[in-house]
A and B are shown apart, each in its own frame.
Chain A
Amino acid sequence: MFFCGLIQTLASTKSDPISPTNIFAPDSTPANSLYHLSIFELEILGVIFVVVFSLLAYAVVKFRQRKEDDSEPPQIYGSNQMELAWTVLPVLIVVVLFLTTAQVIHRVQDARRPEGAIEVTAVAHQFWWEYRYPQYGLVVANELHVPVSDPSHPTPTFLGLLSADVDHSFWVPRLAGKTDLIPNHPNTTWIDPHETGIFLGQCAQYCGTQHAKMLLRVYVQSRDDFDRWVHDQQQDSAADPSVAAGRALFVAKGCFACHTVRGVMAIGRIGPDLTHVASRETIGAGSVPNTPENMRRWVHDPGTFKPGSLMPPQDLNDNELDQIASYLMTLH
């Protein structure tokens, strides 16, 4: 049953990946290397399974006790030749698998960083992601944007992985295997997506109450779109006069203690940077779509979507909620 399921999954193609997070629908060099190694190994293991299972099935059927046969079968105590055979053969298989594996480990982990690579520092927080682009002086949250990488002129993205609190793990299955984000233990990983689109994933190391809703979204864009996105994100926050009341409330109610909004007196670093929060498609680290209604409910009580979120419920009246939500929705 297990192998049927596996084969069915394997038969999937990139155009129909069954799941947006299928590890067998890779779209990036590291994920591809892992994929090919996996297939090679599965073929070997499949053969082992068929052989041993057949022996077991044969023994169970062939050597059952016949009715009214109470005599003892011939007693055989062992055979050194057999022991040698089933020691040496597995040793050979292990050698082959190990050498192939070591090669892939080296290729993925010790990959050279080419000129033109994008540098991003990902900082995991309970329960959201912060992305810093030192090359562009940018800080964004939860939605990672990277340029597509043409295999002939690769522009991979190298991610430095840090944690602000506990252990987390960065896992976008179609782009790369997972790497943990551990406090005081910087790690790196890299991706070079070959196609544009949205790639999903989520935190893969239990990190507390809302581990389940610490989702990852990677937006792979054409180089032009990516440059435009960088340019937009580099601007200070919009200052729409129609929401001046909301902006004033944002400061007055102390939101700045945790959140940054560039261009306003708000430089908090505990929660996500909100300078361009309205440009994102989701809120709550991918929990819900970023609509005015959801934004209002989120500000009122994040626990309605994400119980255990570290942002406390806000003691605001309906009018204040409307104003703050409207203000946030202008921050494109």
Chain B
Amino acid sequence: MASEAIPLTIRKGPLAVVYEWLATADHKKIGLMYIVYALLFLVIMGIEAILMRIQLAHANSTFLSPQVFNRLFTMHGTTGVFFVAMPILFGFGNYLVPLMIGARDMAFPRLNAFAFWMTALGGLLLYGSFFAGAGVSQAGIAPDVGWFAYAPLTATAFSPGHSTDYWTLSLLVAGVGSIAGGVNFIATILCMRCPGMTLSRMPLLAWMNLVMGGLVLVTISPLTAAQLMLMADRYLGAHFFDTVAGGSVVMWMHFFWIFGHPEVYVLIIPCFAFISEVIPVFSRKAMFGYPAMVAATVSIGFVSLGVWAHHMFTVGMPSYGNAFFVLTTMVVAVPTGIKIFNWLATMWGGKIRFATPMLFAVGFLFQFLIGGLTGMMLATAPFDWQLGNSYFVVAHFHYIIVGGIMFAIFAAFYYWYPKMTGRMLSETLGKWHFWLFLIGFHLTFDFMHIPGILGMPRRVYTYEAGRGWETWNMISSIGTVFQAVAILIFVYNMVSSYFVGAVVGNDPWDAWTLEWATSSPPPEYNFAVVPSVRSRRPLWDLKHPDDPDWKYE
């Protein structure tokens, strides 16, 4: 099964290399481009966050004008969801799924390239607004409507100029890319598995990307529809969200959140996938309760489609409507709990190696637990009437997005970097990165819950003294320094290890899934001989011929 790369001896000029990347349809190259592209935006959104934290560090600050602050949080949120989290996860999925199911590429390689370039164009459009957004005098140069852009703030009356159009077009274009990517994941996972890999032997990463792909199809569509309606309102005289002409702005909320909440699962489910690969390998045990994990993932996928209006508990839905969405939202806690318990059970009785990927995975578990519990608080509509739209919510979703998703992504970086580059990331720097980021994360986001409880709404560019908010905001702002240093270490580690990291063989972590059966980095065709498998851990079977998994599954 193990294969060796056939060495390529042709030397290429720099232009040829550029052309090769621009024109590639190789899932690994596209995956890497997604990842690098997302990392650039990660740095940009981080700078935006730091500026905002400087502004909020003390009361009545005049560091930023309200106009600039409002643009920053809009760009920070939009960038984070659409041009950092999604591309980075699509990138890992692109890179890993074919390798892990023993395929030579994605099902539709050209569609794959198209999807990436559409996403890339979307990000350029969003930031293009800085150069061309104003359009008319007095209008803002970048979108300032918030990342969920509630109508009618997006109407031409309240958002003159073109900044909102850049936002709309950007999401429209990126959405097309995401849908293409989703189709590709589904087709690849259903149709491209190697011989012997039944659905029930698929790595959990493939299962979870399958669910993610399905969710992308269902959820990006309403977002795209809403953007088209908004453009029609702004330029064709339509009245979808024009309340003066009988339109409904609540309809925008429904359209946005029936995208927006499943979107959270589009982001977190691939992270569950990373954690489900990292924890078993570093605990030296098979994944506990594989069928339950699959069932939990699929049910989260379905239930997540019926929870969106928990973002709308304060918009005046009738009491039974509110109660319905309380119930559906709370139900999500059940499969999520199943996952947490299965990960814990996988660690239980293992021999855990605390290499950097595992550190980040444990950090993920801890923070995801807390983020889940604060999520239960917000799911309780009456509690949400107080906490909703306050800094508590900001703290909660950053717990999920940074404490959960980002930690899982870091685990994935440390785990798969050797596969992608053939060199290890420095473990020493990795541990510095982990601990500094952990400290910074907790300083910023633990203490951010408190001003929310004390009545501080989100999206305020400043606040008055005497509300009891200053200390907590100052601590939150200090935390960003630690996070920024940690990210710099991470970036340095990524760059320097590419040149001087320890060279690795096929399987540096002594892992069990198929991507570790080929060389690091894998050849363009992935596997010289298409592998065939008999269990969920083909490399375990290979390493333990006396005690293979297929005897037990």
Contact = CB atoms under 8 A, between A and B. Distances in A.
Contact of A83 (B144, B338, B340, B457): B338
B461 to A, nearest CB: 5
Contacts of A64: 351-352, 354
Nearest to B392: A23
Nearest to B155: A166
Q: Is the interface of A mostly helix, strand, loop or mixed?
A: mixed
B483 interface: no
A219 to B, nearest CB: 18
Nearest to B384: A177
A206 B341 CA distance: 38
Contact of A41 (B246, B249, B342, B376): B376
B430 interface: no
Interface string B283-315: 111101111100000000000000000000011
Nearest to B328: A98
B460 A211 contact: yes
A166 B152 contact: yes
Max count, chain B CB within 10 A of own CB: residue among A110, A161, A167: A167
Nearest to B346: A76
A252 interface: no
A308 B459 CA distance: 15
A177 B463 contact: no
Given A9-B450, A212-B66, A166 B349 contact: no
A157 B509 CA distance: 66
Interface stretch (A50-58, A147-155, A239-247): A50-58
A182 B250 contact: yes
A97 interface: yes
B286 A75 contact: yes
Given A206-B150, A212-B461, A110 B284 contact: no
Interface in B376-406: 376-377, 380-390
Contacts of B442: 1
Nearest to B146: A206
A104 interface: yes
A37 interface: yes
B329 to A, nearest CB: 10
B298 to A, nearest CB: 14
A63 B455 CA distance: 43
Chain A's interface size range is: 35 or more
A317 interface: no
B319 A110 contact: yes
Given A177-B386, A206-B459, A209-B70, A105 B351 contact: no
Contacts of B453: 6, 9, 22-24
Contacts, number: 299
Interface stretch (A66-74, A130-138, A223-231, A266-274): A66-74
A212 B243 contact: no
Interface stretch (A85-93, A117-125, A257-265, A320-328): A85-93
A314 interface: no
Interface string B439-474: 000100011011001111111111110111100100
Interface string B333-374: 110011011101101111111100000001001100110010
A101 B380 contact: yes
A34 to B, nearest CB: 5
B198 interface: no
A168 B256 CA distance: 18
Given A83-B289, A94-B333, A212-B460, A49 B369 contact: yes
B316 interface: yes
A18 interface: yes
A204 B5 CA distance: 59
Contacts of A2: 370, 446, 449
A205 interface: yes
Instruction: Specify which of A6, A169, A176, A205 lies most central, judged by the most chain B CB atoms within 10 Å of its CB.
Output: A205
Interface of B: 65-67, 70, 144, 146, 150, 152-153, 158, 243-244, 246-250, 283-286, 288-292, 314-316, 318-319, 322-323, 326-327, 330-331, 333-334, 337-338, 340-342, 344-345, 347-354, 362, 365-366, 369-370, 373, 376-377, 380-390, 442, 446-447, 449-450, 453-464, 466-469, 472, 544, 547, 549, 552-553
Interface of A: 1-2, 5-6, 9, 18-24, 31, 33-34, 37-38, 41-42, 45, 48-49, 52-53, 55-56, 59-60, 63-66, 69, 71-79, 82-83, 86-87, 90-91, 93-94, 97-98, 101-102, 104-106, 108-110, 126, 161, 165-167, 169, 171, 173, 176-180, 182-188, 200-213, 215, 307-308
